[in-house]
Structures are given as C-alpha cells and as structure tokens.
Structure 1
Amino acid sequence: MTGAHDAGAVTGPDESVLLRTEGRAAYLTLNRPRALNALTHAMIRRIDSALTVWEHDPAVETVVVTGAGERGLCAGGDIRAIHDDARDGDGTASAAFWRDEYRLNARIARYPKPYVAVMDGIVMGGGVGVSAHGSVRIATERSRIAMPETGIGFVPDVGGTYLLALAPGQLGTHLALTGSAVGAGDAQLCGLTDHYVPSASLPRLVQDLAHAPVRKVLDRHVRAAPPGDLAEARGWIDACYSADTVEGIVGRLLDHGDSGAKGAAETLLTRSPTALKVTLAAMRGARGLGSLEKVLDQEYRVSCAAFTEPDLVEGIRAQVIDKDRDPRWSPPTLAEVTDADVARFFTPLGERELGLAASDTTPEAPW
C-alpha cells in the first residue's frame, strides 16, 4: 500500500523503517518497497527500539504498522542474507537474526497498546510475524497472506505454526504444508486477521487513528469481508490432513476425488520432503505447547537445524537466486526422510535456546 508517511519523517540515517507520530498515534512504515519490504536484521532492531520508546510515551495511544509501495506490507525476511550466510558463513548471523525476530514477534503479541497492522497486499513469512500477532489486524481485497516456507526448504516460523495451529480443523495444516496464500475472507476464517477494510479506505483509516480511538475508527471503516474458498473445502481438508503422516496426507488427497484435493497433493509433491515432515511435526507439537512463547522456542530450534540442512540453500537458490523454480531436494522423496531425521530438528539447544517460555505471559486486549 502507499503510506501517508514520507522519508523526511524518519529519525536517524536508516530509512528502511520510517517512524513518526501524529496526534494519539505512532506510525511505523516498512520502507524497502523494491524488496517488497523484506525484513533485515537492522529493521528488526529498529522496530523493537521504536516499540520501546512508544510503550513508555504516554502521548502514544496506538501504534500503526504499514508497508511502503503498492505491492504489500512485507514479503518476509531477507532470505538472500540467510542463503549467503548458509553458503559462506557459520550461521551466527542467521541465528542472531532469528533470535531478535522471534523475540519481536512475542513482544508484538503482548504489546500493551493497540498495535494496528495494515495487512494490505502481500504479507508472507516474516511479514506475518510483524502483523498477525498484533491486537488489530486489517486485511483488504488485495491481501495475499501466506507462510510459504516449505517451498524454500524451510519450516513456518515467526510464530506461524502457533497461529496456524489455532485455525479451525485442519485448515492451518493445509496452509502450513502447501504454503498457499489466502485472501481476506479466508484469513479471517483462519484467525490471521480480524477486520476487512477496502483498500481505498486505508489512507483515511490510517489518518483517523491519529485523532480517534481504535474502536471508533474501526466502526467507521470496517466492512464485511468477501467470502473465501476454504469454508467450502473444509470437508476434504479435514478428512485428508488428519492423516498421521505426510505420506498419508498425500495419499488421501490423491484418492479423494476433489479437484482441490488433487491440486494440493500436486503442490505438496513439489515441496521439500524434509520440510514437509518437520512442518507437520511442528504444527502438531505447537497444539500441545499452548503458548506463543513456547512455540517460538520450538521454532528457533527448528530454524537453527534447518540452517545446517541442504534444502534451505537449495530452495532459496531455486526460488530467489537463480529463479529456475527447480529445486533438487535432498533427500528427494518423502519415503527417504526418516523419523530420526525429523527428530533432529527438535533437539534442545542447551545454552543457545531462545528461552522465551520463561517470560511467557498472556496479555489482555490493550484496548
């Protein structure tokens, strides 16, 4: 979306995140539009610092998060940097990025003031992390929301397995494994967003938040979301994704007879077999862990393990670097990924643990 904020409003030399306050609101704009506002480590630190200042500023009653440009809020983390670190580095930089990113995700979820995330356009991966944990999440007719990590040999993170595990039935498992993007109606059904506002109304909504309480502004601009597709697909999704294994899920999808089920199976067979099996285990583990902090601790273990596996570098190469869209997964088939292979991703990290569960809190709604 186009923000109402200009580069001159930023404080400091880094303009990748623009910060300003007006009236009762503080505005944070992700500002790398040519990279679809992909998050760098510097951006994560800048967002966290801004939230600290605004949390303790009594003049700031609401935080509003938007993305610069016309294409979307945020396409995710800077996976080129992850690729280069995995290929040429020792993983220290990536682990530090994930540590700060996941801590920020948890902070957003328990932020004591209304945190209004404008989820217009593309919102994927890390973009979900800085928006869908907020207390007020707004989608538009242009929203395309996804956790597409299995397509690059990775596993949904930034609290994505927590959010998707809360979706009705097996909808979250379907989205986590396939990486499929959903629009406003389906995002609301799955609990990823709260409100629908037509994109043409966003400039006025964003401006109104400077002058009126969040509830009054929402009452003025929120409309009924257009219907999505997932509600009608619940039958085959719940039946197929309740299988115990990824192989069982694929088999049920292929046997079901619904064209959507067949399409989902075909999508799964293009994804990293290792990532699929680890994602299914992570999703089912997330349901039992209970809190976002515990799930983020699990995701950090998984991310650090994925960094050492060949599929992450290969997936990013195929999708982002060379763009041949032809990843060569290792192992190449589901049958070759053993239970022991999956279990390695969940091995405790000892002193390197993220350790968020120790600060586990469940905040009340801040507005």
Structure 2
Amino acid sequence: MTGTEEPVLLDIRGRAAHITLNRPKALNALNHSMVRRIDEALTAWEHDPAVETVLVTGAGERGLCAGGDIRAVHDDARDGDGSASAAFWRDEYHLNARIARFPKPYVALMDGIVMGGGVGISAHGSVRIVTERSQIAMPETGIGFVPDVGGTRLLGLAPGELGTHLALTGARIGAGDAVLCGLADHYVPSGALRRLVEDLAHMPARDAVARHEQPPPQGESAGRREWIDSCFAAGTVEEILDRLLAHGGPDAKETAETLLTRSPTALKATLAAVRRARRLGSLERVLDQEYRVSCAALSTPDLVEGIRAQVIDKDRNPRWSPATLAEVTDADVERFFAPLGDRELGLAGPGTAPDTAG
C-alpha cells in the first residue's frame, strides 16, 4: 500500500499527534485493522513525552466516520460463524474504553457525519468538537442492531429521555443538540478547523480550542423536551408508541411512524439496554453488557435483513422477524443479556458482570 491508501494515517505535528481515518469512499467506516492501528498508535503516544495532544479527524468532505464496517458484519453473520465480528467488537470496545481513560487530551473533530462506531472513537474523548456540518446519530435499530461502542451509556446519561429517543429512533442531531445531550463539548465553525489544527501543534489543547470556539447554535431538542420526556419515560416500547400517538403533535406522530419502521426486536432490546446502562455506572460495565448484546444480535434474522435492506440491496424495505412488537417476548429480549461464560468481554474485571445490576 502507498501512504494515501492506508486506512489510518498517523503523523506528529509539533506537540500534537494526528489520527486520520482514511477511507473516504466508505465514509471512513472502521474495520478491524483500523481499530488495531489506532490502539497501537495510542500505546506509543501515551508513553511519548513529546506528544501532548492526540487529534482524530476523518479524510474527505463528508464526515469523521459513518460507523463500523457493517457489510463485513452482514457477511460474517450470514455466511460465517460470527467469530470475526465478535473479535472486531472485542477490540473496538477495548479501544472505546481506552479513549475514555486516555491520560492526554484526546481531541475529536466531529465534523460532518459521525455515526455508530464513529461516535465510539470521538464521543468518549476529553475534547469533542462539533461544527455546523455535524450530523450525529446512533442509527442501529434501523439495521436490526442495538447501539453499542458505549452508546447506550452516552445516551442513557443525556438529559431526561432525549437519549432514549435518539437510541430508539436513530435520529440525526446537529451541533447544538449534541452539546445539550452530552455527546460533544465545544462548537467551532468548520471554516476555523484548519487554524485550530495548526494551533494544536504549538499550544495546549484547551487554549487552542478556546481561541476558536463559539457558542453552539440552538438545537431542536430543548423545545421538544416536554413531549419527548413524557412519552419516552414509558416502561415499554408499546407504551411509548401509545403515548406518542395520543400526544397529537405532528413531531410526536412522525416519531411514532419512524419507530414503526424499526426492528421490533432491536427496539425492545435497545430500550432494555439503555435502562440497564443507567444502573451499571461505569463505561467498562456498559461495554461488557453491549458485547453480550452485540454477540446475541449476530444470531438474529433482523441484523442480516436490516443490513441487506439498508446497505446491500438498498431497497429500504426490511422484512423484520418477528414483524410486530407484540410478537417479541420478554424471553426474546432477555436472551440479548445472557452471560457469555469464558467469552465475556471482561473490561470491568472479575466479579463485576453486567447482570449484577439487575
């Protein structure tokens, strides 16, 4: 490979080490080799006194990262035994936890599209920057999957039920809402990013960001809190839908219609995962739970079907199985949280299995 074909570009400019996700044609989607490369770089830079800041950006004009390489997951779930996907998630979730605990400023430029696994390599960082171009989402229920990469913890910590709304619908949010929901810290206009990157080379991250940040634009979520909080506080997905339809407002009705297009099984597993994540506390315990959920999803028909409909064939017409919420039993949901024995992720250490939170 030549340098420009490397999926992750690494370089050091002054005091800042740069990670550039370099698969612009795939909107910088993460694969296993990219995760390992980033982890190796963080190991080197953590112990390099010349590196004071780490910066992660995406190549191309469209965004930081559209998520994990779900085509590979589709093929593995359909034709393989799921072991390749499980191995990818194991290393990816370890990387997510490492980013959250990284001892130096970890600056993520969340410009453009940031979804799924892209949230995992950015929103756990200590300095998270959004722009007027930012479109952030955890859209997993649309492919028969459940938010992962620590997403159920991030969304569970959002004010009120805003995170529950985002987890179930997969809705995209902009800069103002990302800051409100706790997925980002600072707003910098996209036109100032080049100068920000230059400043990071020769000044502390907090000073460089302070030089360019502006107040974030007003988002939509604050004005929608009342109905989102009241509807999404319900104990079941069915009750959430009932409340949305009874509300009478056009936004609530549109949200109900969106939910009805999502995988019924994924919706119920996602609601349970977010609620449990709130009780689990640490990111490590939540990632342990998400690993159970993700591995369980590999053997469900909806994951293969959802990726087929949205990404492979692009007919946007998934045939979910079961097809309705009423057909998804409590036992179906509980299966996502079943212990994995010696295959547990184990980030939180022995004796701290996620099911101990109830």
Q: TM-score, length-normalised on structure 1? A: 0.94
* In 2, Cα distance between equivalents of 1:82 and 1:133: 23
* In 2, Cα distance between equivalents of 1:324 and 1:218: 43
* In 2, Cα distance between equivalents of 1:305 and 1:119: 30
Tell me the alpha carbon deviations over residues 62-114 of structure 1, each in whole angstroms, 9 at most, x when there is no partner.
Answer: 00000000000000000000000011111110000000000000000000000
1:256 aligns with 2:247: yes
1:315 to 306, 314, 319: 306
Q: Which residue of 1 aligns with 2:108?
A: 117
Q: Which residue of 1 aligns with 2:224?
A: 233
* In 2, Cα distance between equivalents of 1:204 and 1:299: 38
Tell me the alpha carbon deviations over residues 2-40 of structure 1, each in whole angstroms, 9 at most, x when there is no partner.
Answer: xxxxx75x8xxx710000001100000000000000000
1:193-204 alignment, distance < 5 Å: 193-204=184-195
1:358 aligned counterpart, secondary structure: coil
1:351 to 329, 333, 342: 342
* In 2, Cα distance between equivalents of 1:135 and 1:17: 21
Runs of 4+, deviation exceeding 6 Å: none
2:35 to 24, 30, 44: 44
* In 2, Cα distance between equivalents of 1:359 and 1:110: 19
1:14-25 alignment, distance < 5 Å: 15-25=6-16
Q: Which residue of 1 aligns with 2:176?
A: 185
1:306 aligns with 2:297: yes
Q: CA RMSD in A?
A: 1.1
* In 2, Cα distance between equivalents of 1:150 and 1:17: 28
Q: Which residue of 2 aligns with 1:148?
A: 139
* In 1, Cα distance between equivalents of 2:32 and 2:272: 28
Q: Which residue of 1 aligns with 2:208?
A: 217
Percent identical pairs in the alignment equals 77
Q: Which residue of 1 aligns with 2:79?
A: 88
Q: Which residue of 2 aligns with 1:268?
A: 259
Q: 1:359: Cα distance to partner? A: 8.8
Residue 235 of structure 1 aligns to which amino acid in structure 2?
E
2:196 to 197, 205, 223: 205
Q: 1:215: Cα distance to partner? A: 1.4
Tell me the alpha carbon deviations over residues 170-215 of structure 1, each in whole angstroms, 9 at most, x when there is no partner.
Answer: 0000000000010000000000000000000001101110011111
1:327 aligns with 2:318: yes
Tell me the alpha carbon deviations over residues 129-163 of structure 1, each in whole angstroms, 9 at most, x when there is no partner.
Answer: 00000000000000000000000000000000000
1:28-67 alignment, distance < 5 Å: 28-67=19-58
2:326 aligned counterpart, secondary structure: helix
* In 2, Cα distance between equivalents of 1:99 and 1:359: 17
Tell me the alpha carbon deviations over residues 242-292 of structure 1, each in whole angstroms, 9 at most, x when there is no partner.
Answer: 111000000100110111111110000000000000000000000000000
1:165 to 156, 160, 163: 156
Q: 1:43: Cα distance to partner? A: 0.2
* In 2, Cα distance between equivalents of 1:52 and 1:337: 43
Residue 263 of structure 2 aligns to which amino acid in structure 1?
S
Distance change in 2, residues 1:253/1:342 (3 Å): same
* In 1, Cα distance between equivalents of 2:243 and 2:255: 11
Between the two proteins, the alignment pairs up a number of residues equal to: 350
* In 1, Cα distance between equivalents of 2:52 and 2:77: 41
Moved more, 350-359 or 314-323: 350-359
* In 2, Cα distance between equivalents of 1:134 and 1:250: 34
1:131 aligned counterpart, secondary structure: coil
1:357 aligned counterpart, secondary structure: coil
Q: Which residue of 2 aligns with 1:137?
A: 128
Q: Which residue of 1 aligns with 2:354?
A: none
* In 2, Cα distance between equivalents of 1:164 and 1:233: 16
* In 1, Cα distance between equivalents of 2:283 and 2:179: 19
* In 2, Cα distance between equivalents of 1:223 and 1:15: 34
Residue 20 of structure 1 aligns to which amino acid in structure 2?
D
2:118 to 119, 127, 130: 127
Q: Which residue of 2 aligns with 1:293?
A: 284
Q: Which residue of 1 aligns with 2:88?
A: 97
* In 2, Cα distance between equivalents of 1:358 and 1:188: 32
* In 2, Cα distance between equivalents of 1:173 and 1:320: 25
Q: TM-score, length-normalised on structure 2? A: 0.97
1:338 to 329, 333, 337: 329
Q: 1:358: Cα distance to partner? A: 1.5
* In 1, Cα distance between equivalents of 2:55 and 2:209: 13
Consecutive unaligned residues of structure 2, counting only runs of 5 or more, are: 352-358
